[in-house]
Amino acid sequence: MILSASRRTDIPAFYAQWFMNRVRDGFVLVHNPMNYHQVSKISLDPDVVDCIVFWTKNAEPLLPYIDEISKKYAFYFQYTLNAYDKDIEPVTCKLQDKIKVFQTLSKKIGKEKIIWRYDPILITDKYSIEWHINQFKSATEYLHSYTEQCVFSFIDLYDRTKDNLKEINISAPTIQEMNQIAKNFSETAHKYGLTIQTCAEAINLDEFGIKHGCCIDSQLISQIINSPISAKKDKNQRDVCGCVESIDIGQYNTCRHRCKYCYASFNPQSVCAFSKQHDITSPMLVGNLEPVDKVTERKVKSLRKPYIPDLFK
């Protein structure tokens, strides 16, 4: 099993203590996003968790626990770091502070286990194409020694985020603008020896040396755990997404970064309400079990391929 922690929220930034309590207790309860009172009980036994993929914009609260996590699990980070101001990301710290935490994490776990995400790319009068190109160059100078790979994507304007973005004259890049950004990003990345890929993008950028990437990456996981795995494409993701199957333990509308573009935490009132219900001792991220909840133990297993000795050596 590959554990996603989490596409739906920032567990390292806001729920590190809760996560560690779940690790120590050996299981987690997760609400079904489509039916709130259907609850899955998911084992966190290291024998069945092949790898954890952490998603974050701020890993600092999780740093004190990295050594403890390392003793039980293989893992890597999808780490978003960009330079938007508070008009886009209201709860954000200074860029240099973000970079310092990124660098500290990389030194602890190894640069091969931290993937830099520059996303989503959105265009406004303030955040022009030239702004993105310059910010990417500047950030790469600081980060290239602390990661091996950068992933970027262009904004998707979801209906659920329209209210949050209505006061911002925002646009998604055109094909021509995407090519211009990709060309410049690729030149910068290759100058500093970084692999660069896109995330869930249909556009073909092969001419710039940019391939389609995947966040839950079976090849990377196999390298980290030193064993091949058997994992299918995640059928719950978009067709253009190349990720393999995983189990996500987060909950929507619980991330307190309040990024205006976010598809996962798009309702500020729900974020506030759920945050108040969070209990670090609870087996679930929000609240506690209710009498109407139906708990089902999810069947999970390791995806590692069995070792078959070469009998003809």
In tens, the pLDDT along 103-142 reads: 999 999 999 999 999 999 999 999 999 999 999 999 999 9
Q: Is residue 305 part of a domain?
A: no
Banded pLDDT at 5 (limits 50, 70, 90): very high
| Residue 5 near residue 53 (C-beta atoms within 8 A) | yes
> Mean pLDDT for the chain?
93
User: Which pTM was predicted?
Assistant: 0.94
Give the model confidence (pLDDT) of 219-267 as tens digits.
999 999 999 999 889 888 877 888 999 999 999 999 999 999 998 999 9
Quick check: is 308 in a domain?
Answer: no
Instruction: Indicate if the pLDDT at residue 38 is higher than 80.
Output: yes
Residue 168 has pLDDT above 90, yes or no: no
- 292 assigned to some structural domain: yes
Spatial distance between the Cα atoms of 224 and 74, rounded to a whole number of angstroms:
7
Query: Residue 252: what residue type?
Result: Y
**Which strands, in side-by-side order, build the sheet including 195-199?**
211-213, 195-199, 149-154, 114-121, 75-80, 51-56, 2-5, 247-248
Coil vs helix vs strand at 73 = coil
Q: What's the rounded Cα separation, in Å, for the pair 179 and 199?
A: 15
Total domains in the fold of the chain: 1
44 inside domain? yes
Say if residue 312's pLDDT is above 70: no
Q: What mean pLDDT do residues 271-298 have?
A: 96
Domain-located, residue 310: no
Instruction: For residue 233, tell me if it sits in a domain.
Output: yes
Q: How far apart are CA 9 and CA 18, in angstroms?
A: 13
Q: Is the pLDDT of residue 308 over 90?
A: no
Q: What is the pLDDT of residue 136?
A: 97
Range of the domain at 69: 2-297
Q: Is residue 312 part of a domain?
A: no
Tell me whether residue 92 is in a domain.
Answer: yes
The DSSP bridge partners found for residue 40 are: 30, 296
**Residue 310: is its pLDDT beyond 60?**
no
Average pLDDT over residues 54-78: 97
